[in-house]
Structures are given as structure tokens and as C-alpha cells.
Amino acid sequence: MPTPTADVESARSRRRALLEVPVPTASPSASVPEVILGIDLGTSHARVAVLHEGTARLVPLPGTETHELLALVAVDGSEELLVGPAAQVEATRAPRRAAHGLMRLLGLRARSPRLRALTPHLPFPITADPNGDAAVELGGRLVSPTLFTALLLRELKHAAATFVGRKATRAVICAPTHFTDRQRAALRDAATLAGLDAQRILTAPAAAALAHGHGRGLARKRVLVVDVGGGGLEVAVVQVTGDDLEVITTGGDPLVGGMDFDTRIAEALASDLAEQGVPRPDHLLDWGPLRAAAETAKMALSERTEVEVPMPTGTVPPLSRERVEALTADLAQRVTAVVREVLDSNALSPQGLDAVLLVGGQGRTPLVRRRLEESLGVPVREDVDARGAVALGAALLGHALLLAEGGKPAASVSEVLSMPVGVAERGGTMRRVLERTTRLPAGKTLVFPMTAPGPLELALFQGTSSLVAENEYLGRVSLNVERPGEVELHLALSVDGVLSLEATLPGVRRQPVSLALEDLDDAGREALIARSPLVGEPEARPSGLLSGLKKLFGRR
């Protein structure tokens, strides 16, 4: 019987082999200047943009007029992975062999507390891969979100190379504000698998603000960006000065996104069909055609008040905008509530905003726009490409990086940490070391005494809760202290929010230390926490498993 290690190595080899299949690209030309791609990896669709002939432009997919790659994965009869249009064909033929929304799983462990909250919102059953990470099984094959992401990136890279006429190997890739250090690392791993060097991981709202402010000559304008994408809600307040951006604060809710709106509509369509004797789907993956029909109808209702909804089985009455708005009213209300929470928690008022941007596919719906304007008393700008702004902003930053390499003035983006990073204390509480809204890059040192030599282990977590069980486990630091004295653990965050560690031990120079990333079972994690040299202060336990998740960034 193969060992777990052998299973992992086999999976890695298969993943490399799949991505090593050559993709034809245009012949590189010395006359074509280098570009750094701007990539928006949305939960529902992915896009790539480049600065072309002096203008940031979305790249069309080869052979099509669309600028969006459907973020869908399928497994064909030979157990090969398909993405984009090929996956869509397979999904139509065999719904149980396809799934969308895998970006919501990227970098999450199967035992992640966030995943437990997300599971009821996902259109597929969750399983664990050999590493203990969240995955989905399709057609008898285990599909890794990292590999799926790499395949999407590979398609986007090929599209961009075809468009500009030369190879492109560097990119600015956008990530949700709620991504932890571990999720950002998974995104970088996916880029590497796809043959891309991720020059910068940029949060999506910051990219949208950059696209809005570029070339306008704005002077210290405060912009609120509300990004309602397929996989969640992201909010950021950004100060724009010329082409320079400074993120002031971020927030959001990963449980409210376009996919959740689609679910409500799909359930209504299923009820309409049930009245005609068509049974409701009995498996999560069987809902795929209904969800696809729901999303298509929702998008059409952004422009029209009523649409016909073609169904593969049975017929349903025309769907009206009024009915859809009634079905999703509470979700739209949640969007406005989170926005107000983010503003209130940072003592910001709507009247102090110079512009409000609403982006993301769900941001196109009249209900969300109307509720946001009613809540804030401030109009939402109309001159924003809701679906393309994130990729366009990322491409602008990519071009700025090229200018900076040449010693020329260029745009800059300064971001903040969206969730605290800390160390577990005995008793299961978390001592925050790096706080939310810490300006990046940043560093902090944790100092504690060691009265006797011996091994020292620390568990690192990231999240908003005071309890480590409700936060995301980042990994374990193991040190061997040879003499009594003060131990210093130095935590540093890069401009992208990537965590690195160094330690200064008694009598030993400061040196880098690694974070052991493998997961532990419940007993192992409890034992690790019990060995912590830090003792927390007693405090009331929050109610509920994830008491802070609904206001993940808005309040502490």
C-alpha cells in the first residue's frame, strides 16, 4: 500500500506533468516591450489585463470576443482536468464532473474554522487532500484548488502572450482582502506552477481604486471601494494622491458574494420546476445547471426587468427583477451593513468620502447599488468598469513596477494588514503581535524569558478572534534554547503581507527561522498550545464557533 508521503509525491508529479504540457504562444519579438500582467482571479471569472499602446486593456481570450475566463473546473472521462470553455462543455454533459467556486477553498485546510462557516455556502462537497488541505472530488479524481488556480493562470498567461505578441512571465495578481498569509502563499505556489513570477499580490479593492484614480491627477481624495464578487464582499477605504494609493482600512464578509445570490435564485427555479413534477436535485453537484441558469438570468436582469429562463428539463415562468430582489433583499442589506461597520469602526463618515466605487459582478445589480446609495447618502460613481477594474488596476501597477526598475517615477500602492497575526497562549487564547490595519511592510518583536534551557515551540495563528480555535493556523516555530535568558521572535510582513520570521536566542545572533506548515490533529494542536511559554489573561469566551466571522475585518 502506498504511504501518505508517496501519495503526496505522486500528486505533485501529476500536477507538474499536467502543467508542463506546452501551450503555443506567439513568437517573442525584440521590438515588443515587456509587460507585467495584471490578473484578477475572481471566484466566478478570471481576467487578465496589460498596458498596451499606452492604455491598460483587458485581454480577449484567443478565438473569442470575451475578456472573461469562466472559473469552472471539470474532469473528463480520462480523468484529465479541464478549465474554461472546455469545462463548460463537460459540465453541460455531466454536471457531477464539474464545479465552480474553488477559489473559495484556496489555501484553506480541511479543518479550517473559516471553511466550516463556508461549507453551507459551497456548491460542492468538501474533502481533504493528502496534505490535509481542502479539495473537491470530481469524477473520481481529487481536485486541488492550487492546481485549478494554476490552470486558470496558465490560460490567462497564454491569452496575454497571444495578445501582445511575446511571452509574459511576470504578473501582479489580485487577492481578496481576507486572504491569510497561508492563502497568499498558495496563490504564489499556483503562479509558480503556471510559470509566472508573482511580482506583487495586490488586494482587489486597491487595484480597483488604482484603475479609477490613474491619470486623473487626484489630490488626497478618499475613495470607498465596495467589491461584491462571486466569492465574497470586500471593502476598502483608500486615499488617492495622483497615482499613489494608501489603503486606510479594509473589511468585508467572505460569506456574502454573487454565488450566494445565485443560490437564492436557483432555489426559486427549483421550486418552480417542482410544481411541475420535476424533482429537486439530490446532490450538490446536480445543482450546477440551475446555478448557471440563475447567474445568467441575474446578469440579464441588471439590464432588463424580466427575462425568460431556458431550462434543460421543464419550463419555468419568466423571472422578474422584482422577484429576484425580494429573494435577495437580506443579502443586499448585509452588504450595506458591512460597509457601515467598516466605516464606523474606523471613525469614518460617508460625508468624508470623495467617491464610492462599486465593482465586482454582483456590483452591477441595481438592488445592491440602490441599497448602498440609500445607506450612505452618497452616489455611486457610474464611470467604473465593474467587472474589469481590478485587472486593469493590477496591470497599471505592473507597468509601474517596470518603470521603477528603469529608475522612472511610477505609481505606488501602500496596503495594510487585514487580520491580526499572533501567537497561541496557554488556555487557547491568541496574543496579537501584528494588529489589523498595520501599515505594510511592518515588523514586530515578541520577547519572553526562558528560565531554563530546552526546546521551545510556538503556534502562530491569523484571525480576528481572541480564541485560536476560531482563527486560521499558520504553523509552528520550533527553537532549541541552550541557555537561560530572553528569547526574541521577530515577525516581519512584506509589502504584500507575506510573513517571515527570525529569532534571537540567548548568546546567539539573530537568524531566520522557518515555520513548520504541516497540520496537526486536535490532540497534537492542543498539546502544542499547552506548551506555549505565554500565559493569557482570563476573559469571557465569545459565543458561537465563529463569533467574529460575520464582521471579519470591520471590527476588532
Per-residue pLDDT band at 19 (split at 50, 70, 90):
low
Instruction: Please state which CATH number belongs to domain 4-252+384-413.
Output: 3.30.420.40
CA distance 231 to 352: 29
Mean confidence (pLDDT) of the chain: 90
CA distance 416 to 346: 13
Cis peptide bond prior to 366, omega within 30° of 0: no
Element (H, E) at 316: none
Helical H runs in 50-180? 84-93, 113-118, 145-164
| Per-residue model confidence as pLDDT tens digits over 438-490 | 999 999 999 988 889 999 999 999 999 999 999 999 999 999 999 999 999 99
CA distance 296 to 85: 15
Asked if the model's pLDDT at residue 14 lies above 80, the reply is: no
Contact 512, 500 (CB under 8 A): yes
Give Cα 392 to chain centroid, integer Å. Answer: 17
Annotate 467-525 with DSSP letters as a single string: BGGGSEEEEEEEEEE-SSEEEEEEEEE-TT--EEEEEE-TTS--EEE--B-----HHHH
Please give the pLDDT value at position 538. Answer: 59
Q: Where are the domains of the chain?
A: 4-252+384-413, 258-329, 421-551
Q: In what order do the strands lie in the sheet with 141-143?
A: 127-128, 134-138, 141-143
Please give the pLDDT value at position 5. Answer: 43
| Per-residue model confidence as pLDDT tens digits over 31-83 | 778 999 999 999 999 999 999 988 999 999 988 889 999 999 999 988 899 99
Q: How confident is the model over 538-555, as a mean pLDDT?
A: 45
Please give the pLDDT value at position 554. Answer: 41
Element (H, E) at 450: strand 442-450
Instruction: Please state which CATH number belongs to domain 421-551.
Output: 2.60.34.10
| Per-residue model confidence as pLDDT tens digits over 286-338 | 999 999 999 999 999 999 999 999 988 888 999 999 999 999 999 999 999 99
> Could you tell me which of 418, 425, 429 has the C-alpha nearest to residue 555?
418
Does CATH place domain 258-329 in 3.90.640.10?
Answer: yes
CA distance 389 to 353: 19
> Could you tell me which of 225, 514, 224, 556 has the C-alpha nearest to residue 419?
556
Question: pTM for the whole thing?
Answer: 0.90
> Could you tell me which of 439, 386, 384 has the C-alpha nearest to residue 245?
439
Q: How confident is the model over 372-388, as a mean pLDDT?
A: 93
